[in-house]
Chain A
Amino acid sequence: MKRLYMFFSLLLCCILHASAQDVMVNGTVSDEQSQPLPGVSVKVAGTTRAATTNAAGKFSILAPANSSLVFSYLSYKSQTVSVNGKANIDISLQSDEKLLETVTVTALGIERKTTSLTYATQNVSSEELNRVKDNNFINSLAGKSAGVVITKGTSGPGSSSKIIIRGQKSISVSSAPIYVIDGIPIGQAAGAVTSNFSDTDNGDALSNLNPEDIESVQLLKGAAAAALYGSSAANGAVLITTKKGRIGEAKVDFSSSTMLEKPFDLPETQTRYGRTATTANDMWGAKSSTGTNDFIKDFFETGKSFINSVSFTGGNQQAQFYLSYANTKATGIVPNNSLLKHNFTLRGSGKFFKDRLTLDGSINYINQKMDNPPKAGFYYSPIFSLYLFPTDDNFGNYDKDHFEVWNPTRGLNDQNWPYIRNEASTNQNPYWIANRNLNENFNGRTISSFKAKVDINSWLNVLVRTTLDINDRKFESKNYAGTDAVDAGSGGALSGTYSIRTNYETNLYSDVLLNANKQLSKDFSLTATLGASDNRNYFNEISTASSPTSGLLFPNVFSINNFNVATGAAPFIFYQHTYKGINQAIFGTASLGYKETLFLDATARREWTYTTEEAYNYPSVGVSYILTNTTGTSDLFSFAKLRGSYAEVGTPLQRGANNSTPPKIVESGTGSTKPVTNLPYFSGDFRPILKPERTKSVELGAQIRMFKDKLSIDLTVYNADTKNQVITIKAPAGAGADNFILNGGEIRNRGFEGVINYNMDFGDLKWQPGLNFSHNQNQVRALSPLYTADRYVISSSDGSRLVASFLTRPIDGKYGSFGDYYGRTILTNADGSIQTDADGIPILSEQDATYVGNPNPKFLAGFNNNFKYKQYTLSFLIDSRFGGKVYSQTQAWLDFKGASQRSADARDAGGVMVNGKMVDAQTYYARISGGGNYAAVPEYTYSATNIRLRELALGYTFPVIGNVFKNLNISLTGRNLFFFHKDAPFDPEASISAASNTQGIDAFGLPATRSYGFSVRSSF
C-alpha cells in the first residue's frame, strides 16, 4: 500500500518536474508535537536523489531550485514541498491515522487491508500495554478488549494467567487461545485441564516475553479470523508483533517501571473469642481480651517490581537492527517469593539484490528464575495456617524471627509451631513454609527466528520462515528437616526431602508462503496466499525425588547424591516422559476485492495431526461490504462497513486420547504397572473412534465511523457451535475404566461484543474515551447418545472439597452450561422452613446433589479514558464484570474454626436462630461449613459482579532537553486501585489455578493486591 502511495507521489512529482539550478536545501522535520523525526526520507521529486533526516530530524540535500521535495515517513502523511530556491525548509509531518489503520496483521502474519477484513479483530498497542506494567504483560490486556476474560493467577510474580476469548468452548481440552509471535504459533496459553489444590504454577509461553519488545497485540477472536491455524483456531489467537529495527540514526529507548504491591481485602478474623484449649487450633473457646488479628496483615510484605529495559535501534534503507535488554526483578507479597528475569533480543533485517530479497532474523534469550511461588489450598499453603491462627495466641512467638527453634541434640533448627497437628490436613508455620519449603524454578528459553522473502515480481513473493523455540526448565523443591510429616513423609520430616525435575522442550515451526497481491483489472483486486507448514515438538522430562519414607541421608543437604538409599525398598521416586509430535498442513487464502468496496474472503487448511489417523479440512469464508463507497460519505457517516463470516475449525485430540491399549507405565515405588485410568469410550467391545472437536462459527459485524471519524463503533454478533466435544468424564461403576474419553456433546457460545471509541477535541485538551463490552451465553446443546446418563461428571467435589462440575442433558428446552456447579445445600421443607435434626441443627442435602451456580460472567464492560492536555496525559480504565458466582472455601473454614466475625456475633447473640429456635453457634457452623469441607455451598457463594478501577496513569512529557533526552516521560501509575462495587469478600477474579475445573473457587488463595508506582521512559 505504501509502495503504491509513493508511486503516485513520484508520478505527481514527475509531472511537475522542470529542470533548473541546484541549491543545497537544509531543514528540520518534526512531528505534530514538534518532536524531531529521525529517518524521514527526503527525495527530490522525479529523481533518485535522496537523503534521510538524522536523530535531530535535520537533513540536507542538493536539489534543483525549481524542484519539489517529497518527505515520506511510515505512518505519516507524505508531503511535497516546492523548493522555489529556498535554502531552508522546516516542515512538520502529520500522522496519518488512516494509514496506520489500513493494514492489519492477520493469521500467519499475513498483512491485510483492514477494510477488507470479514471478521472482528482488536488491536492493543504497545503504548497501551506498557502504560501500567505487570510482571505478566497478559494481565495488561484485561479490560481492553471486548469479549476477552483474563484471570490473573495467584502464585505471585510470574504466575500464569487464564485467558478466554468469547466463552469456554472446550470442556476437557483447554479453551485458551493460541499465542503467535510474528506469525509463528508458539503454543497455547495457560489453562491446563487437570489441577488440584496443591499444584504449582509454572508460568506460560508468553508471560516471560519482554513487553517492550512488543509493537502491538492483535486479538483474533473468532474462528474465521484464526481459521488458518486450523485445529488450533477454535479458541481464537493472540498475535504478537514484535519491534524491528528502524531506518534512521541510531536511537536508544529507555524505560523503567517501579511498582509496589499491597494486599487488600484481607479476611477480618474475629478477636473476641479464644481457643478451647491452648493446643487447639480453633476459636470456639471463652472470651478473650488479648485477641488481635494484626499478624495477618503484618505477614504480607509490600511486593516490589522493577522492570528496566533499554533498546537500541538504527539502520539505513538496506539494513536495520534492533537490540534490547530488559531486566525484571520482583518480589511477591509472601516473604521469600521472587522473580528475576533477563530478556535479550537481537533482530536484524536487510534487503539484498536490489531489494528483491529481504532477510530478517532474530534471537530472543530469556532467563527466568522464580523462587517459591506460594501455593493455594491446603498443603504447603502459608495462607491456610495464617488465616486460621487463633487470634488470642501470640503470633510474635512464631514470627519471622521465631519460626524455628534450635535443637541442641541434633544441631539443627526445628519448626516452631504449636498447631502442626491439625485435624484434617497439614498446618505449618507460614514463615516455615516461606523459608524452609523451597521451590526454585528456572527457565532458559531461546527463540530463534529466521525469515526470507523473495520478491518475484511486483505482485508475487515467496516467504520462508522458521522458528525454533527451546525451553530448558528446571524445578527444584527442598523441604528442610522439621517439615510436617504429613507433607514431607516420615523420612522427610527427619532429614528433609529433595526433588529435581528437568525438562527440555523444542518447538520447530517452519512454513513457506507464496503471496500474491494483484490488481486483476480496473475493478478487481486479489490478495492470495498459498502455503505449507510443518510443526514439530519434542519434549523430554526427567524427575527424581527422595521418597517420603526414606528422606535424605544427611539432613538439609539437597542433592541427589544425598538420597537415603540405604533404607527402604524404594528410596527414591523417578520418572521420565518423552514425547514428540508432528503437525503438518497445507493452506491457502484468497481475498477478492471489487472496486475496493466488496471483498470476498476464503481460507482453507488441510491438516495432518499426529493424534489422529485422518487428515482434517478447515475452511472459512467471509464477505465485507463498504457501504459508504456506494452511498457516499456524509458529515454524519464517514465510513460504514458490514461484514460476515463462517468458519469451521477444530481442537486437536490430546496425545494418546485415541489409544485403547496405551503403553505401560511402571511405578517407580512399587515396580507394578500403573492401571490405565482414562480410556476412549467403550461399551462391551464397542469402541468408537474419537474425532477432533469441531467448531462451526458464524459472525456478523458492522463498523461505523461518524461525525468526521470522531466516533467509531464496531459491533459483532457471533454463534459458535462446538461439536464432537472431547470430554473426559467419570465412567459409571462397572464400565471398565475410571474415566471415559468420548465425543460427548455440543456446546454453543453465542454472544455479542462491541467497541465504541470517541475523539473529543477541546483545543489543547483532548479526550479519547473508549468503551468495550461483551456478552456470552454458553449452552450445553446436546450430550452424546452413546452414553445415555442424564449428566456427565466432569469433576466431583472430591477434587475441590466443595463443588462438583456436571454437564447436563437438555431437558424441555432448558440448557445447562459449562461450569455449572453442584454441591450441598441446606434442606428446606415445603413451607420454606429449614429441615433440622433432633438438635434443631439444619440438615444438609447429599453431596453433589443440588445446582448451586456457574462462575462465568454474563456481561463484561471496560471503559477506557485518555486525556491529553499539552504535555500532560491522564488515563484510567474502569473494568467491570457482571454475573457469575464465586465460592469461598476460605470462608467455610473460618466459620468452622470459629474465626469468622459472624461466628463471634452469633456467640454474642447467644447462638443462631433456626426456625425461630436458638441453636448453639459452634454446632450450627460446624454443620453448615461441613467441617470446612463439603459445606452447604450457597452459604459460601457470592456474586462475582464487580466494578473496579483497573488502571490509572498520570504522565508528563518533557520538552526536548538539551537535545539529548527526547520524549522524556514520567508517569505515576496504579493497578487495581479500588472497587466501585463488589459483593464477594475477596477479589472474585482471583482463581486458585488456571485450570478450567477449579474456576471461581477461592481456597486460601493469595489476597487481591493493589499496586502503584511510577515509570520513566525516554529516548536518546
Chain B
Amino acid sequence: MKKFSNKAGISIALTIMIVLGFTTSCRKDMEGLNRDLADIPQDMLAIDGNEASVMLPGMMTNIISPTDWVYQLQQNLGADMYGGYLATPTPYLGNVNNLTYSFVDGWVNYIWDTPQTNILNTWLQWKLLKFDTKYPDLYGIALICKVWGSSRAADQFGPIPYSKFGSSSDVSFDTVQEAYNAFFADLDLAIAALSKFEDATPEADLLRFKKVDKSTLGGDYTKWIRAANTLKLRLAIRISRIDPAKAKTMAESAVSNKFGLLGTADGNFSMIPANAHPLSTISDSWDDVRLGAPTSSILSGYKDPRLPFYGRPATDAAISGQIIGIRTGIKIDVKETYLNFSKIVIANNTPIKVMDAAESYFLKAEGALRGWNMGGTAQSFYEAGVKASFTAVGASGADAYLADATSTPAAYVDVKNHANDAAPLSTITIKWNEGDTFDKRLERIITQKWIAMYPEGCEAWAEYRRTGYPKLYPVTVNNSQGGIPVGGYIKRFPYTTTFTNASKAQTDAAVAKEFGGVNSPYKALWWDID
C-alpha cells in the first residue's frame, strides 16, 4: 500500500505542476486577445494627429450618405422629392409610401440614424477621448460636420437631441430654437478654432487634414471656414422671420468674417464619392429616380440653358426628345408608366453636392433685401448668384438669361394621365426689378436659388416651407389617413420608431412641447411661420 501511495503522491504533484504550468506560462499569448487583430488599434494612430483625423472622413461623407441605398432613404425618397427636384416612377408598397404621405418607418429612420451614427456618435468620441482640446483645429472640422448633419435632421423632424447629446443615456430633445442657438454657437467655436490655427500655422492643414479631406475643398482650412460661414448665413436666413434680430447678428458676422463665404473660386462644397454618386446607381441601375415635374416646367418655361445639364430627353414615345419630369404624389399603378420620362444627368464620378457655391450669393441677396449689411445690393448678389450657378454647371448665356423679363414657368402636361396636368406654378420672371414688391423680389431670389441648388432637396424643401417658393405641385394621392389635409404640403417628418422605440418618453415630451402633443406631418417647425 505504501508503494501505491507514494506513486499517487508523485502523480498528484505532477498533475498540479502541469495545471499551474497551463495557467501561468501562457500569459504572453494573451496579447491581442479580445479584438480583431486585422483592425487598427487606437494606440497605433498617435502620429500626425491620425487618432483624431481618422474620424473625420466618416463624419463629412455622411452629411449626405454616399451609400446608394442609404442615400435613397435618407435623402432621395423624401427631401429630394418634397423639394421638387426629383421624382420616382416606382409605386413603392402599392404606391402607399412617403411620396403619397404614408410614411415608411424603415425609410424615414435613416434621416436621423445616418447623421446620428456617423456624425454625432463619432463627435461624442472626440469629447470622451478629449481630442476636442488636444486637436482644436481638427475638432473645428468635426464641429462643422456636426452642425451640418444635425441642422439637416432638425429641419426635417423638428426637435432633436443636440445640445445635451451624450450627456446621459436618455437625453431630452432641444426645441428647434434651442438647437439653432446651439448650431450658431458650435459654428462660432469651429470658425474661431480654425482661424486661430490658420493664422498661426498656415501649413498645418496640409499635414494634418489634407489626406482625410474627402470633400472638394482639398484639405484647405480657409475654404472650410468659408463653408462654415456660409452655413451660418443659411441658418441665419432660416430664422429671419421668427427671430429677425438674432438672424441679422449672425448673418452680418458671417459675412464680415475675414475669410468670407464660399464663392465661385472655391467651387461647390461637395463630397467625392468613393464608388459612384448614389443618384447614378438609383437612376441608372435601379430606375428609381427621374427628373421632377417642377424642375422641368420651371426651367423649360425659362428656356434655362442649365436644363440639359439637369435632365436628359425623355425616351417615352409620347414625349420623345422633350425634357419632362414626373409629379410626385400621383397615382401610379405600374412602374413602366413613367419609366421613360426624363432621366437625370449624373455620372458615376459626379461629386455629391452638399452646398452649391451660388447659394452664398442668393443668401446675401436675401439678407440685403431684408436690409442687413451684406456688403452689396440684393440685385448685385442675385445676378452674381445666377452667374455663379451657370459657371458651376458649365452653361453659357447667363447675361442674356438675366435680361429675360418675359419668360415664366411653363404649364405641366402629363401625357399618361391628364388629371395631373397643371397650370404654370408662377408668373415670376427672371430679370431683376428693384421696383417689385418684397415678396416678388424674394420669390425671384428663392426661385433662382432653388435652380442653383439642384439636386440637394433637403435645403430646397426647407426653404419652400419657409418662403413658399418656388411654388410646387401638391400631391394628388394623399394616404396620410387624415394627417395632412387635402391640398396640404408636408411640413415635417413625423418621428419614427428610431425615436419612439428607445426614447419614447423623450419623444413624447418633445412632441408635447413643440407640436401640442400631436406627432403630425402637418405641424409647422418653429421657423416656418406664415
Contacts and interface: CB of A to CB of B under 8 A. Distances in A.
A670 B352 CA distance: 14
A610 B7 contact: no
B36 A797 contact: no
A738 B117 contact: yes
B104 A934 contact: yes
B129 interface: yes
A672 B58 contact: yes
B127 to A, nearest CB: 9
Interface string A669-680: 111111111000
Given A456-B8, A659-B35, A734-B503, A280 B333 contact: yes
Contacts of B106: 797-798, 801, 933-934
Contact of B166 (A730, A735, A738, A786): A735
B518 interface: no
B135 interface: no
A732 B118 contact: no
A789 B96 contact: no
A684 B164 CA distance: 10
Given A512-B19, A547-B275, A734-B173, A676 B94 contact: no
A580 B31 CA distance: 9
Contacts of B45: 664
Contacts of B334: 276-277, 279-280
B201 interface: no
Contacts of A738: 113, 116-117, 121
A670 B59 CA distance: 12
A460 interface: yes
A66 to B, nearest CB: 36
Given A674-B58, A732-B503, A663 B40 contact: yes
B18 A457 contact: no
A627 interface: no
A797 B498 CA distance: 10
A462 B276 contact: no
A732 B506 contact: yes
B417 interface: no
Given A486-B286, A738-B121, A534 B113 contact: no
B227 to A, nearest CB: 19
A493 B169 contact: no
Given A277-B334, A684-B166, A738-B117, A664 B54 contact: yes
A931 B93 contact: yes
Given A280-B333, A423-B335, A670-B61, A932 B275 contact: no
Contacts of A534: 22, 26
Interface residues of B, number: 100
B417 to A, nearest CB: 14
B34 A656 contact: yes
Contacts of A276: 333-334
Interface in B431-446: none
Interface string A649-688: 0000001101101111111011111111100011111000
A579 interface: yes
A423 B92 CA distance: 5
Interface string A693-718: 00000000000000000000000000
Contact of B164 (A421, A655, A734, A740): A734
Interface stretch (A258-266, A568-576, A770-778): A568-576
Interface in B82-108: 90-94, 96-97, 104-106
A734 B166 contact: yes
Name which of B35, B55, B504 has the most chain A CB atoms within 10 A of its CB: B35
B421 interface: no
A654 B250 CA distance: 49
Name which of B122, B160, B334 has the most chain A CB atoms within 10 A of its CB: B334
Contacts of A790: 504
A736 B502 contact: no
B164 A793 contact: no
Contacts of B276: 490, 549, 568
Nearest to A685: B128
Contacts of A801: 106
A736 B35 contact: no
Interface stretch (A201-209, A358-366, A581-589): A581-589
Nearest to B495: A733
A635 B171 CA distance: 72
Nearest to A793: B501
A654 to B, nearest CB: 10
Contacts of A610: 30, 33-34
Nearest to A454: B11
Contacts of B94: 423, 896, 926, 931-932
B302 to A, nearest CB: 33
Contacts of A767: none
Contacts of B11: 456, 460, 462, 514
Interface in A466-492: 485-486, 489-490
B200 interface: no
B57 A670 contact: yes
A578 interface: yes
B491 to A, nearest CB: 19
Given A421-B287, A735-B166, A730 B501 contact: yes
Contacts of B197: none
B497 A797 contact: yes
A577 interface: yes
Nearest to B93: A931
B125 interface: yes
A141 B275 CA distance: 49
B530 interface: no
A789 B22 contact: no
B149 to A, nearest CB: 12
Contacts of A577: 36, 38
Contact of B481 (A277, A674, A843): A843
A798 B498 CA distance: 10
A337 to B, nearest CB: 28
Contacts of B128: 685
B375 to A, nearest CB: 37
A847 B107 CA distance: 13
Contacts of A548: 275, 281
Interface in B113-133: 113, 116-118, 120-122, 124-125, 128-129
B330 to A, nearest CB: 15
Given A801-B106, A847-B105, A578 B275 contact: no
A351 B345 CA distance: 81
A631 interface: no
A457 B7 contact: yes
Contacts of A533: 22
Interface string B410-443: 0000000000000000000000000000000000
Nearest to B123: A736
A608 B55 contact: no
B336 A279 contact: yes
Contact of A512 (B15, B97, B117): B15
Contact of A456 (B7, B112, B167): B7
A548 B273 CA distance: 14
A346 interface: no
A533 B117 CA distance: 42
Given A456-B8, A663-B40, A489 B30 contact: no
Given A462-B14, A569-B273, 6 more contacts: A490-B280, A512-B22, A569-B274, A732-B170, A732-B503, A848-B105
14 contacts: A276-B334, A423-B90, A423-B335, A486-B285, A514-B11, A540-B38, A578-B38, A611-B33, A661-B129, A684-B167, A734-B116, A734-B506, A797-B106, A933-B106
Rank and list the top 9 A-B pairs by shortest CB-CB distance, nearest first. A734-B161, A931-B93, A672-B57, A485-B285, A663-B39, A736-B166, A490-B285, A610-B33, A683-B169
Interface of B: 4, 7-8, 11-12, 14-15, 18-19, 22-23, 26, 29-30, 32-42, 45, 54-55, 57-58, 61, 66, 90-94, 96-97, 104-106, 109, 112-113, 116-118, 120-122, 124-125, 128-129, 160-162, 164-171, 173, 214, 272-276, 280-281, 284-287, 333-336, 339, 348-349, 481-482, 496-507
